[in-house]
Amino acid sequence: MILVTGATGFVGKAFVDHLLNENKAHSVMIALRRDINRTWPSGVLVQKIGDLGPHTDWSNALKGISIVMHCAARVHIMSDTSDNPLHDYRHINVHATLNLARQAATLGVERFIFLSSIKVNGDSTKPGEKFTADDLPDPNDAYGISKMEAEQGLQEIGLKTGMEIVIIRPPLVYGPGVKGNFLSIIQWLNRGIPLPLGAISNKRSFVSLDNLVDLMFTCIAHPAAANQVFLASDGEDVSTTDLIRRLGLVLNNNVRLIAFPPKLLQLSFFVIGKGDVAHRLCSSLEVDIKKTTHILNWVPPITLNEGLSKLAKGYGV
């Protein structure tokens, strides 16, 4: 049986759906913080565990569990207003995660799969360079630091207990229901707003929800996944300008791009307090998935264009 945390979230829900569709041999236990008004398919067991924290009791949810897929997290927040964001991220992403892992190991869970983030590697790559799974961590914000500390704590627990640890670090994930910057760009395109993003020559990796979920599914049983760190992507890197053009095509929108100099664009965003947005739009972040494809014999099932088309269908296009 597989325990899935964060099963009502963007990635967790898609993973549960995929699991039920692709592998009837596994029963699924879903851990919820509180009751929700939803009917779950047959084969899904639900256990309410309350708020996630360093003292959450997982004993009922972990009964009979052989694999944990841990998707629950305090996700990255662009404009975090917390007085102490690192403390808040650590509470959920580090302390709550390691509490679950310790109890899982004690109760005989064989494999613990942790959905981490490429932010453990860093926020950007230099031109012509890519992040790899074996790079030294270099997180630059509270969210990335919390994910790194969780990874390190999980690996220590694995060494002490023998529970297999699998870590997956995705870059920005997109698909039907996506939020954040991706949703903002879609809304801009749908309104026909001219965008000053026509001259950005960066390179960025993305991963479709379908591809990430397929990789997570592969890591459930693949023997070579044990105690490894894997990066995820669609296998194709594009500039922000190219991405917007492709989005425009699948959304059937006439893209209106202005070739605004990237340095002036970044300065303009900085002046209005949106320097972090400009950084993501203009900087590069490339991911090397050779280790993932080699060890797991895994190839992204769909292309970037196919993933964008599925995203557009989610918006009724």
Model confidence over 61-71: pLDDT tens digits?
999 999 999 99
pLDDT at 79 (0 to 100):
53
Please report where in the chains the tokens 């000053």 appear, as a residue.
Answer: 196
User: Does residue 26 register a pLDDT over 80?
Assistant: no
**Any idea where the domains of the chain sit in the sequence?**
2-175+206-235+286-301
Q: Is 143 annotated in the active site?
A: yes
Q: Which comes out higher in pLDDT, residue 79 or 241?
A: 241
Please report where in the chains the tokens 């950007």 appear, as a residue.
Answer: 124
CATH number for 2-175+206-235+286-301 (one of 3.40.50.720, 2.60.60.20, 3.40.190.10, 3.40.50.300): it is 3.40.50.720
Q: Show the 3-state SS of 263-294.
A: HHHHHHHHHCCCHHHHHHHHCEECECCHHHHH
Q: What is the average pLDDT value for the chain, to the nearest integer? A: 91
CA distances 134 to 20, 80, 153, 214, 304, Å, are 32, 30, 17, 22, 25
| Amino acid of residue 97 | T
Please report where in the chains the tokens 């797991």 appear, as a residue.
Answer: 296
Question: Rounded distance, CA 215 to CA 133, Å?
Answer: 15
Question: Rounded distance, CA 234 to CA 80, Å?
Answer: 29
For residue 65, give every residue at least 6 positions away whose Cβ sits within 8 Å of its Cβ, in sequence order, or none: 1, 2, 3, 29, 104, 107, 109
Question: Rounded distance, CA 307 to CA 207, Å?
Answer: 8
Q: Which comes out higher in pLDDT, residue 266 or 167?
A: 167
Q: Show the 3-state SS of 171-183.
A: CEEECCCCCHHHH
Q: For the purposes of burial, counting CB atoms within 10 Å of the CB of 187, is it exposed (0-12), middle (13-18) or buried (19 or more)?
A: exposed
Q: 69: which strand partners?
A: 4, 113
Q: How large is the average pLDDT for residues 72-89?
A: 78
Please check whether residue 263 is in contact with residue 107, taking contact to mean a CB–CB distance below 8 angstroms: no
Catalytic residue among 89, 143, 174, 315: 143
Q: In this prediction, what percent of the chain has a pLDDT beyond 90?
A: 67
- Picking from 11-15, 82-86, 281-285, which range would have the lowest pLDDT averaged per residue? 82-86
pLDDT at 316 (0 to 100):
57
Q: How large is the average pLDDT for residues 12-33?
A: 83
Question: Rounded distance, CA 117 to CA 170, Å?
Answer: 5
pLDDT at 317 (0 to 100):
53
Model confidence over 195-238: pLDDT tens digits?
999 999 999 999 999 999 999 999 999 999 999 999 999 999 99
- Picking from 2-6, 23-27, 74-78, 133-137, which range would have the lowest pLDDT averaged per residue? 23-27
Q: For the purposes of burial, counting CB atoms within 10 Å of the CB of 249, is it exposed (0-12), middle (13-18) or buried (19 or more)?
A: middle
Question: Rounded distance, CA 246 to CA 81, Å?
Answer: 34
Model confidence over 150-188: pLDDT tens digits?
999 999 999 999 999 999 999 999 998 888 878 888 888
pLDDT at 236 (0 to 100):
96
Biggest distance spanned by C-alpha atoms of the chain:
58
pLDDT at 283 (0 to 100):
93
Q: For the purposes of burial, counting CB atoms within 10 Å of the CB of 89, is it exposed (0-12), middle (13-18) or buried (19 or more)?
A: buried
- Based on its alpha-carbon atoms, the radius of gyration of the chain, rounded to whole angstroms, reads 20
Collapsing DSSP to helix, strand or coil, 164 comes out as strand
Question: Rounded distance, CA 131 to CA 289, Å?
Answer: 9
